[in-house]
């Protein structure tokens, strides 16, 4: 029964889809729109797929729609997200555990840096670190060899390191980092 | 000795253990003697750790509700009313409902083929012994289906899905039918 299958997919993957959309777009408002779009696409596709939806398949649908969305908005995929959108989004943020102000600031900067990565690097980082997909699963989603997946992950993290290093030079953040390191 | 720029390219792979043993050892040797690269390695480790700790974002319920409104609204509402907590009931529920429906169909067929008013005429069987045997067989089969379905699903069928007001008369009816058949056979 289509409804049962859809309900199972939604229960299993809705957080993965929403997380991907959130870290991809950088705002909760866009993430909600994107998640709706992905769920509707899954509903429409359930009749045509042969086997039950897998994590890789759901990730692939999500990624494709995120790319379409970015194109529709006529934004370059690696362009910085608007500061206004992020500021507006702050009002919607409701973390389960309230982190310290320093920690929250650092996390916000990292989320911002992820959203500014080039699309492929952003995708592998989100799928690996947040979606917890295996290298093989990411390889299926992106249709690329396993070694390329690893290489993209390393390059993505290296780019984050380069971009965040400048931020860490801020006195306040550097002190926070020093506390954690030593 | 490796150059800093070479090491910089390999730090993430070094952390993940994706370098060949020899290359990883050389990176380690360089980092041990170069304060600048050591700082980079520490930053790379911090970022890797921070990425791993990024939370999975919980999808707001309103997103799902909005999608439900858009997909087949009428059938969806009926579906939800029928199956209030699908995630828990699904496997037994589907099996139970299927068996119950099959049993109900069999009973209806039995009644339409062999209406009780035509079972006997003037104390004599109206139908041949073979027909009565066949009717008995089918009625017992239907009864067996209901029993089986009830034993598989028990409280779910009775308390949550099919009201007792429906099940009980059904059982009484089947028992009356089988009893009549037995009596007819004996006479």
Six token digits for residue A41:
């696409």
- Judged by DSSP in three states, B76 sits in helix
Q: Give the residue among B93, B100, B21, B50 at the shortest CA–CA distance from A3.
A: B93
Tell me how crowded residue B105 is: count the other CB atoms within 10 A of its CB: 12
Nearest to A158 among B12, B55, B76 (CB): B12
Phi-psi region of A149 (alpha: psi -120 to 50; beta: other; left: phi over 0): alpha
Check CB contact of B40 with chain A, cutoff 8 Å: yes
Q: Find the closest chain A residue to B13 by CA distance.
A: A154
Helix (H, G, I), strand (E, B) or coil at B120: strand
Question: For residue A179, is pLDDT > 70?
Answer: no
Helix or strand holding residue A70 (H, E): helix A55-72
Please tell me the predicted confidence (pLDDT) of residue A92: 42
The Cα of A40 is separated from the nearest Cα of chain B by a number of Å equal to 7
Q: Given an 8 Å threshold on Cβ–Cβ distance, is B64 in contact with A150?
A: no
B63 near A CB under 8 A: yes
pLDDT band at A7 (very low <50, low <70, confident <90, very high): confident
Q: Is the per-residue pLDDT at B34 higher than 70?
A: yes
Q: Which residue has the higher pLDDT, B96 or A17?
A: A17
Q: pLDDT digits over A11-66, tens only?
A: 899 999 999 999 999 889 999 999 999 999 998 888 887 777 889 999 999 999 99
Q: Chain B contacts of A110, Cβ < 8 Å?
A: 47, 50-51, 54
Residues in B closer than 8 angstroms to A149, CB to CB, are: none
CB A64 within 8 A of CB A20: no
CA–CA distances in Å: residue A31 to residues A41, A71, A164, B116: 15, 15, 24, 64
Predicted confidence at residue B10, as pLDDT, reads 94
- Residue B124, SS3 per DSSP: strand
Q: Which of B41, B47, B62, B76 would you mutate first to test chain A, the one with the most A CBs within 10 A?
A: B47
**Is the pTM of the predicted complex or chain greater than 0.90?**
no
Is the pLDDT at A123 greater than 50, yes or no? yes
Which residues is B125 bridged to in the sheet?
B120
Query: Mean pLDDT, to the nearest integer, of A100-128?
Result: 87
**H/E stretch holding A106:** helix A101-115
Interface residues of chain A, partner chain B, Cβ below 8 Å: 1, 3-4, 6-7, 10-11, 14-19, 22-23, 31-32, 35-36, 39-40, 43, 95-96, 106-107, 110-111, 125, 129-130, 150, 153-155, 157-158, 160-161, 164-165, 168, 177, 180-181
**DSSP label at B57?**
P
Indicate if the pLDDT at residue B111 is higher than 70: yes
Q: Is B128 in the A-facing interface, judged by CB distances under 8 Å?
A: no
Residue position matching structure tokens 């700790």 = B53
Contact B59 A23 (CB under 8 A): no
Q: Which residues of B112-134 are buried (b: 16+ CB within 10 A; e: fewer)?
A: eebeeeebbeeeeeebeeeebee
Interface check B35 vs A, CB under 8 A = no
Q: What is the pLDDT of residue B122?
A: 54
How many CA within 13 A on the CB side of residue A58?
Answer: 26
Mean pLDDT of chain B: 76
Cross-chain Cβ contact A157/B90 below 8 Å: no
pLDDT given at position A74: 59
Q: In chain A, whose CA is at the least distance from the CA of B68?
A: A40
A115 pLDDT exceeds 60? yes
Rg for chain A (alpha carbons), in Å?
17
B46 vs A180: CB contact, 8 Å cut-off?
yes
Average pLDDT, whole number, for chain A?
80
ipTM above 0.85, yes or no: no
Who has greater pLDDT, B76 or A169?
A169
3-class DSSP state of B85: coil
Percent of chain B with pLDDT over 70: 69
Please report, for residues A25, A177, B162, the alpha-carbon distance to residue B174 in angstroms, rounded to integers and kept in the order given: 62, 77, 17
User: What confidence tier does A98 reach under pLDDT thresholds 50, 70, 90?
Assistant: low
User: Kind and range of the H or E element at A166?
Assistant: helix A146-168
Band of the pLDDT at B96, cuts 50, 70, 90?
confident
For residue B124, report the phi and psi dihedrals to the nearest 5 degrees: -105, 140
CB of A164 within 8 A of CB of A110?
yes
Determine the pLDDT at residue A178.
Answer: 56
CB pair distance less than 8 Å for A181 and B42? yes
For helices A171-181 and A146-168, angle between their N-to-C axes, nearest 10 degrees:
120
Tell me which long-range contacts A61-64 makes (C-beta under 8 A, separation of at least 24).
A62/A16, A62/A17, A62/A20, A62/A21, A62/A34, A62/A38, A63/A20, A63/A123, A63/A141, A63/A142
Find, in chain B, the residue whose alpha carbon is nearest to that of A21. Answer: B57
Lowest mean pLDDT among B23-27, B75-79, B165-169: B75-79
Q: What is the pLDDT of residue B94?
A: 73
- For residue A131, the SS3 value is coil
Runs of H (alpha helix) within chain B: 4-16, 21-33, 35-52, 61-70, 73-82, 86-113, 129-153, 155, 164-186
Task: Assign B168 a pLDDT band (cuts: 50, 70, 90).
Answer: low
């Amino acid at each position: 029964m289509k409804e049962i299958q859809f309900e199972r997919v939604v229960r299993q993957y809705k957080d993965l889809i929403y997380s991907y959309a959130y870290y991809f777009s950088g705002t909760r408002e866009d993430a909600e729109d994107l998640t709706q779009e992905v769920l509707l696409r899954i509903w429409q596709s359930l009749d045509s797929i042969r086997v039950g939806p897998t994590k890789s398949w759901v990730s692939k649908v999500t990624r494709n729609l995120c790319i379409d969305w970015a194109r529709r908005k006529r934004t370059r995929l690696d362009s910085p997200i608007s500061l206004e959108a992020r500021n507006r989004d702050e009002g919607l943020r409701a973390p389960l555990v309230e982190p310290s102000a320093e920690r929250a600031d650092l996390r916000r900067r990292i989320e911002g840096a992820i959203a500014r990565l080039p699309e492929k690097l952003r995708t592998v980082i989100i799928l690996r670190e947040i979606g917890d997909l295996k290298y093989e699963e990411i390889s299926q989603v992106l249709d690329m060899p396993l070694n390329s997946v690893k290489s993209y992950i390393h390059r993505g993290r290296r780019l984050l390191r380069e971009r965040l290093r400048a931020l860490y030079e801020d006195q306040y953040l550097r002190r926070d980092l020093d506390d954690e390191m030593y | 000795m490796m150059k800093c720029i070479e090491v910089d390219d390999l730090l993430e792979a070094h952390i993940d253990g994706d370098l060949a043993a020899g290359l990883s050892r050389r990176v380690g040797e360089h980092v041990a003697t170069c304060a600048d690269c050591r700082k980079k390695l520490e930053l790379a480790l911090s970022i890797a750790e921070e990425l791993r700790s990024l939370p999975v974002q919980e999808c707001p319920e309103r997103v799902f509700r909005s999608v439900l409104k858009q997909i087949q609204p009428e059938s969806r509402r009926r579906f939800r009313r029928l199956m209030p907590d699908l995630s828990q009931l699904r496997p037994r529920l589907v099996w139970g409902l299927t068996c119950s429906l099959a049993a109900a169909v069999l009973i209806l067929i039995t009644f339409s083929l062999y209406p009780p008013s035509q079972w006997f005429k003037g104390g004599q069987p109206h139908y041949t012994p073979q027909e009565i045997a066949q009717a008995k067989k089918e009625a017992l089969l239907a009864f067996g289906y209901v029993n089986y379905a009830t034993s598989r699903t028990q409280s779910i069928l009775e308390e949550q899905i099919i009201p007792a007001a429906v099940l009980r008369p059904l059982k009484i009816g089947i028992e009356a039918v089988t009893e009549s058949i037995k009596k007819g056979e004996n006479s």
